[in-house]
Amino acid sequence: MNLKFVHPVSKPSQSRTSYDSLAALARQGLGKKRLSPAEAEEVRAAVERHKQRQRAREQAPRDPLAKSGRFLRRLERILQDESGPIWRILCIHYRLPSSRWIDGAGTDLTVKIGKPEVYTNKSTVWHHRRPWRGTALDITILVPANWRSSVLAAGLADAGGFLTLSATRIAEDAWEADWLAQGRGYEFWVEHGYIVRAVDGTYVHSFSLKRARAIADERAKAWVEKIRLRELRDTLSGMTREQIATTFGDVPITLHDSIRAGNCSVGTRQWCARWADGRTSGTIRDVLETGAPLDEYVLRAITVAIARQRASA
C-alpha cells in the first residue's frame, strides 16, 4: 500500500490477508477510526494484488530441480556413487586405469546434469620411492536429469555393452539415444544414433534407424533358426535309430554339415576315417548304418543336414 503511516504496525499474515484485516492495520497506522474513500480503495487494490500473486504461484509449474540447485547436486551425488549403475557399467564394459601400488593412480568419476557429453583429464603419477608409474584419469560424464527414468528404468543403461547417456523412445523397440564410446587407450567420446532391441533380447547400435533394424532382423532370423534346430534336435533325441532312418534316411549329409553344427573339423574327419572308411558325404541312413554311437555330435550333424534340406525344399 502507498499509504503513509504515522504509527508502527505489525506485518499482516499471508494466510489472512483480506480487506477487513488490512483496513484495520491501515486505520491503526494512520491513527484514524474511519478510512477515506481513497484510502479504502488503496486497501482494496492491495488485497487484489495479493490475490493475483497468490494465483500466479499456484498456477506456476513446480519443478524442484529448476527451483533449487540442491536437488541437482543430490542427484549428481547419487549417480556418481561407486555403488551406482554408472560406475558399475564403466568398470565392466570400459578400460579404466587402476593401481594398488601407486597413490593417486586410478579413475575418479564425476557425474553432472546436462546435455550428454564426456570430458577426461589424464595424467601420469609416480611411486614415491620406486620408478613405477601409473595413470590418473578424471572422467566427467553429463547425463540428463531424467536419466534414471528414461534410461535406467527402460533397461538401456548398459544396452549392447555401452553406457547409454540418454534415450528417447521413438517406437516400441527403438530409441534415439546417446552412448559412451571408447577408442584406443583412455579416449572417450559420445556417439549419437539409434538403439533397436532385437527379438532375442539383444540390442543393436547404429547411426541410422534403417541400418539398426536391418541388423536386428538378421539376428531375429538367426534366433528363430536356432530355436528350430533346438526343437528338431530334441525330436531326434526322442527317436530310435530305426525311426530316424525311416523318416530322414534319404537326406544327404556332408562333412560341412558337421562343421556347421559346431563339431570341429579334425574330430569330424577322424570320425569319417574310423566309421565311414574316409567318406565325407552320403545320406543319414549311411551314417546310421555305420554302427557308430548315436551321440551328441552325430545328432547335431544330422539336425543341421535335415534343416538344410528343409530350407532348400
Residues whose CB falls within 8 Å of the CB of residue 198, separated by 6 or more in sequence, listed in order:
204, 215, 216, 219, 220, 223
Residue 43: pLDDT band with limits 50, 70, 90: confident
pLDDT of 251 over the 90 cut: yes
What totals of helices (H) and strands (E) does the chain contain, helices first?
12, 9
What proportion of the chain, given as a percentage, has pLDDT over 90? 52
pLDDT for position 6 = 64
Q: Return the closest-CA partner of residue 140 out of 107, 177, 112, 163.
A: 112
* Mean of pLDDT over the chain: 87
pLDDT for position 65 = 46
Amino acid at 8: P
pLDDT of 169 over the 90 cut: yes
- Residue range 220-244, pLDDT digits in tens: 988 888 888 999 999 999 999 999 9
Q: How many CA atoms lie within 13 A of 129 on its CB side?
A: 1
3-state SS track over 112-160: EECCCEEEEEEEEEECCCCCCEEEEEEEEEEECCCHHHHHHCCCCCCHH
Q: Looking at residues 182-205, what average pLDDT do you find?
A: 93
pTM higher than 0.75: no
Buried b (16+ CB within 10 A) or exposed e, 193-207: bbbbbbeeeebbbbe
Q: Looking at residues 284-297, what average pLDDT do you find?
A: 91
pLDDT for position 88 = 94
Instruction: Report yes or no: 140 and 119 within 8 Å, Cβ to Cβ.
Output: yes
For residues 126 and 206, give the distance between their C-alpha atoms in angstroms, rounded to a whole number.
Answer: 41
pLDDT for position 138 = 92
Residue recorded with cell 554311437: 293
Q: Looking at residues 190-214, what average pLDDT do you find?
A: 94
Residue 14: pLDDT band with limits 50, 70, 90: low
- Residue range 60-106, pLDDT digits in tens: 655 544 455 778 888 888 898 888 899 999 999 999 988 777 777 78
